[in-house]
């Protein structure tokens, strides 16, 4: 049994035990290793840190690629048992059965209860009770409607322009030459968090502007790692091992809580002072259930806010970093996408996805976005559901699963199932476009198996916003810059490594650390300015 990677601790051990580029600046201290040490001489902090490493290393849940290997190695081919009462499937029919068609027979797995901040405090993601979930979903979906998205786009574009501005300043320092290598994980996360701060709570976190709040990235990574582990092993949550498993997380958590509490207080005050904003929060804070008249309690508001921050920022930034990775490795795809963007729009400010937008004409660009999310789904792990008590069990892909058992499918595995995506590790945007060698029927099969946002009643309601952010950010990047993978060893950061651990061998696959969402490092990209960037400097 394998557990997901440790949070942004100083460890440089990846999910699979392979070595990855450290995600934080904290260096790995050899002193914290137990090997070769007399236990009696180890100070308590070092001992706890070492114990945390041992537990993190030995108790691990399967990552996206380990689930894929389990599917491949399983002689039955289509399903495997991950535990005494856990079944994992890998077909389109199973994915749809579990998440949509037979959704009435399944509910969110009770493993999610271990993610609650306090007993009874559910958010949209952790609510198992279907009527509670329906209420929360109705309220939150209103804030994510197409109309709200249209109203929000100008604010989104301001943040995308800041993102471009930061790249432009770095590129302008080397006039006419390639810029220094830039770590796109960081840049994309700054953008993702700032957009979500603005959209969720009416205030940017200003990560694109200054370093003050950048600790949020590590704090959210730690929080989602913790949720992923406890979701897999609910009993571990009861054991109250936080201090051992997450020695660095508590100080981050305090800073995170302070920032979010201030933000929520200010936001609530604005609401009571009558300075209402049409952000996502306004739909949650003013929500009342038409049947019961009930709204969100303060504790629920806090829990929703925390979840939405992770759901909206970590995912979109992974999608964007993956796009930079693939477009910088597949130069022919970069050329085609750049040509399309540069011939469709007339200026950088012409790029938007609102009214009269030319974005829908960028068919190839959209295919690149989808292909990046197919290859590297931001939430690629297994989404656990439980066969509902009283349902009498269900049959999935010919397997009878009794009630009370957990069933799930990994988005990464389905999206690399060669039955639907031949040559599945090739970044091939053309597989989404009809041509002589790619029929409508082939594309229909692929579309059924393309599930980065999951589907059904628990599928992602933020899809429109995600596409808006991704398409604007990548189209503007292609408009203003040429870009390429960094030269030298930095160019390999974020890529698979021949000779590395089994599922991480492919140099042209962007490597994810599979948490509840996922995290990553790189790609390091060099930019060269091609259009007028004066406005940004």
Give the C-alpha separation, 250 to 139, whole Å: 32
Compute the least distance from the CB of residue 378 to ligand HEM, in Å: 4
Give the position of tokens 């090997």. 35
Nearer to ligand HEM, 315 or 353 (CB): 315
Compute the least distance from the CB of residue 208 to ligand HEM, in Å: 17
Residue 394: DSSP 8-state: E
Compute the least distance from the CB of residue 71 to ligand HEM, in Å: 19
Compute the least distance from the CB of residue 463 to ligand HEM, in Å: 7
Nearer to ligand HEM, 311 or 327 (CB): 311
Nearer to ligand HEM, 473 or 529 (CB): 473
Compute the least distance from the CB of residue 195 to ligand HEM, in Å: 8
Under the rule (CB under 6 A), what is the footprint of ligand HEM? 124-125, 137, 140, 144, 308, 311-312, 315-316, 319, 378-379, 383, 452-454, 458, 460-462, 465-466
DSSP element (H, E) containing 116: none
Give the C-alpha separation, 374 to 324, whole Å: 14
Nearer to ligand HEM, 354 or 461 (CB): 461
* Cα-trace Rg, the chain: 23
Q: Which of 249, 307, 285 is nearest to 126 (CA)?
A: 307
Cβ neighbours of 231 (radius 10 Å) = 24
Give the C-alpha separation, 173 to 185, whole Å: 21
How far is C-alpha 456 from the geometric centre of its chain's CA atoms? 19
Residues 208/166, Cβ–Cβ less than 8 Å: yes
67-72: long-range contacts (C-beta < 8 A, 24 or more apart)? Answer: 67/381, 67/382, 67/410, 67/412, 67/413, 68/410, 68/412, 68/413, 68/416, 68/503, 69/502, 69/503, 71/413
Nearer to ligand HEM, 237 or 411 (CB): 411
DSSP for 467-529, written as a single string? HHHHHHHHHHHHHHEEEEEPSSGGGGTTB--TTS-GGG--TTSB--EESSSEE----EEEEEE
Compute the least distance from the CB of residue 247 to ligand HEM, in Å: 27
Compute the least distance from the CB of residue 255 to ligand HEM, in Å: 23
Query: Which residue is at the shortest CB distance from ligand HEM?
Result: 462
Compute the least distance from the CB of residue 465 to ligand HEM, in Å: 4
Nearer to ligand HEM, 194 or 244 (CB): 194
Cβ neighbours of 169 (radius 10 Å) = 13
Bridge pairing between strands 513-514 and 518-519: antiparallel
Nearer to ligand HEM, 21 or 385 (CB): 385
Nearer to ligand HEM, 140 or 474 (CB): 140
Does 333 belong to an annotated binding site?
no
Burial group, residue 259, by CB count within 10 angstroms (0-12, 13-18, 19+): middle
Nearer to ligand HEM, 208 or 486 (CB): 208
Nearer to ligand HEM, 230 or 536 (CB): 230
Nearer to ligand HEM, 179 or 410 (CB): 410
Compute the least distance from the CB of residue 308 to ligand HEM, in Å: 6
Q: Which of 466, 483, 469 is nearest to 167 (CA)?
A: 483
SS3 (DSSP) at 401? strand
Compute the least distance from the CB of residue 231 to ligand HEM, in Å: 9
- Which tokens sit at 529? 């300015």
Terminal CA-CA length for the chain? 51
Compute the least distance from the CB of residue 123 to ligand HEM, in Å: 8
Bridge pairing between strands 513-514 and 481-485: unpaired
Task: Say how many CA atoms lie within 13 Å of 65 toward its Cβ.
Answer: 21
Give the position of tokens 């709204």. 295
Task: Tell me the binding residues.
Answer: 460
Task: Tell me the binding residues for heme.
Answer: 460
């Amino acid at each position: 049994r394998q557990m997901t990677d440790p949070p942004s601790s100083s460890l440089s051990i990846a999910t699979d035990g392979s070595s990855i580029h450290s995600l934080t600046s904290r260096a790995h201290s050899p002193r914290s290793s137990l090997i070769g040490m007399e236990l009696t001489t180890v100070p308590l902090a070092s001992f706890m840190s070492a114990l945390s490493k041992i537990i993190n290393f030995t108790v691990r849940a399967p990552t996206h690629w380990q689930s894929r290997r389990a599917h491949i190695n399983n002689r039955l081919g289509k399903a495997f048992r991950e535990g005494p009462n856990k079944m994992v499937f890998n077909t389109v029919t199973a994915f749809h059965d579990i998440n949509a068609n037979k959704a009435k027979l399944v509910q969110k797995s009770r493993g999610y209860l271990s993610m609650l901040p306090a007993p009874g405090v559910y958010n949209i993601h952790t609510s198992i009770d279907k009527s509670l979930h329906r209420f929360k979903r109705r309220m939150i979906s209103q804030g994510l409607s197409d109309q709200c998205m249209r109203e929000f786009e100008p604010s989104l574009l301001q943040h995308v322009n800041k993102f471009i501005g930061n790249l432009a300043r770095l590129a302008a320092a080397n006039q006419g030459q390639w810029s220094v290598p830039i770590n796109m994980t960081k840049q994309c996360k700054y953008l993702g968090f700032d957009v979500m701060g603005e959209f969720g709570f009416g205030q940017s976190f200003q990560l694109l502007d200054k370093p003050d709040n950048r600790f949020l990235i590590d704090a959210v990574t730690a929080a989602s790692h913790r949720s992923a582990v406890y979701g897999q092993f609910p009993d571990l949550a009861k054991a109250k091992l936080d201090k051992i498993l997450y020695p660095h997380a508590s100080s981050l958590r305090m800073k995170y809580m302070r920032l979010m509490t201030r933000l929520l207080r200010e936001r609530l005050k604005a609401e009571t002072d009558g300075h209402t904003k049409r952000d996502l929060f306004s739909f949650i804070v003013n929500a009342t259930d038409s049947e019961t008249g009930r709204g969100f309690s303060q504790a629920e508001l806090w829990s929703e806010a925390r979840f939405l921050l992770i759901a909206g920022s970590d995912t979109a930034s992974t999608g964007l970093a993956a796009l930079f990775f693939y477009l910088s490795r597949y130069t022919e795809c970069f050329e085609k996408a750049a040509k399309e963007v540069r011939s469709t729009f007339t200026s950088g400010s012409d790029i938007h996805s609102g009214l009269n937008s030319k974005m829908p004409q960028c068919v190839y660009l959209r295919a690149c976005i989808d292909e990046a999310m197919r290859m590297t789904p931001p939430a690629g792990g297994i989404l656990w559901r439980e066969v509902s008590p009283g349902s009498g069990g269900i049959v999935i892909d010919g397997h009878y699963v009794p009630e009370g058992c957990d069933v799930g499918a990994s988005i990464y595995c389905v999206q690399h199932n060669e039955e639907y995506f031949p040559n599945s590790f090739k970044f091939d945007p053309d597989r989404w476009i009809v041509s002589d060698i790619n029929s409508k029927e082939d594309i229909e099969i692929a579309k059924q198996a393309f599930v980065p946002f999951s589907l059904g009643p628990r599928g992602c309601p933020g899809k429109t916003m995600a596409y808006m952010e991704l398409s604007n950010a990548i189209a503007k990047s292609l408009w203003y810059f040429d870009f390429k993978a960094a030269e030298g060893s930095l160019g390999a950061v974020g890529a698979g490594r021949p000779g590395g651990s089994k599922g991480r061998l492919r140099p042209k696959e962007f490597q994810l650390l599979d948490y509840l969402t996922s995290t990553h490092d790189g790609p390091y990209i060099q930019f060269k300015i091609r259009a007028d960037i004066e406005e940004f400097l």
